[in-house]
Amino acid sequence: MQKSIPLLLMTMLSVPLAAGAQPAGYGPAQQLPADDNVRLVYADVLRVDPIYDIVRVEQPREECYDTEVAHQGGRYENTTTGTIVGALIGGALGNQVGKGDGRKAATIAGAVIGGAVGREADANNNPSRTYRGTETRCRVVDSGYDERRIVGYDVEYRYRGEVFFSRLGYDPGEKLRVRVSVEPADP
């Protein structure tokens, strides 16, 4: 029987704690979550004043223009005539050498060697040339304009007879949803 009295006492003391009651000395800094003390309600909007600011709007654009340019021709540019003449002469000389299948090989070798020699000779007589032409060139130019934009709203509203002011990022309309929180004040 003596063992059951302390057990009964402990059970009776733990029931209020489990039901959510605060033990003695449980101060404001250690209160249970305050979500039960917060309500979302609606206040009447009295006035909404838009807040304007000047905003720079950047708008890159492409600007194109024609300009005269000089192109430098290469040394081997337009050497077709020299290559053909050299191949013909080299093929003719190679055809004079040898007999049978050797003559065909000598003709081919003479044409290849003659073409290369003719191309080089034409390139030596063809100094690099400069050609003038027109090219269209484009570039991106930063440009823009200033624009007056609404950046927020000064709102005057009434809740339970008192008037309040807030700056919002949106126009609330006729009613404004507000959060009402109730906490005990320090003594």
Q: How confident is the model at residue 127 (pLDDT cuts 50, 70, 90)?
A: low
Calculate mean pLDDT across residues 107-134: 77
Give the SS3 label for residue 171.
Answer: coil
Helices (H), the chain: 4-18, 80-95, 101-124
CA angle 96, 98, 100 (to 5 degrees): 110
Of the candidates 53, 55, 58, 59, the one whose C-alpha atom is nearest the C-alpha of residue 147 is: 55
pLDDT of residue 41: 93
Q: How confident is the model at residue 6 (pLDDT cuts 50, 70, 90)?
A: very low
Say what the pTM is: 0.39
CA angle 70, 75, 80 (to 5 degrees): 110
Give the SS3 label for residue 168.
Answer: strand
pLDDT in tens, 32-71: 445 678 899 999 999 999 999 998 888 888 899 898 888 7
Helix axis angle, 101-124 to 80-95, nearest 10°: 150
- Label residue 20 left, alpha or beta by phi (over 0 means left) and psi (-120 to 50 means alpha): left
Half-sphere exposure of 72 (CA within 13 A, CB side): 4
Q: Which amino acid is located at 181 in the chain?
A: S
Domain ranges (residues) in the chain:
26-56+147-187, 79-125
The percent of residues in the chain predicted with pLDDT above 70, rounded, is: 74
Of the candidates 187, 136, 184, 175, the one whose C-alpha atom is nearest the C-alpha of residue 44 is: 175
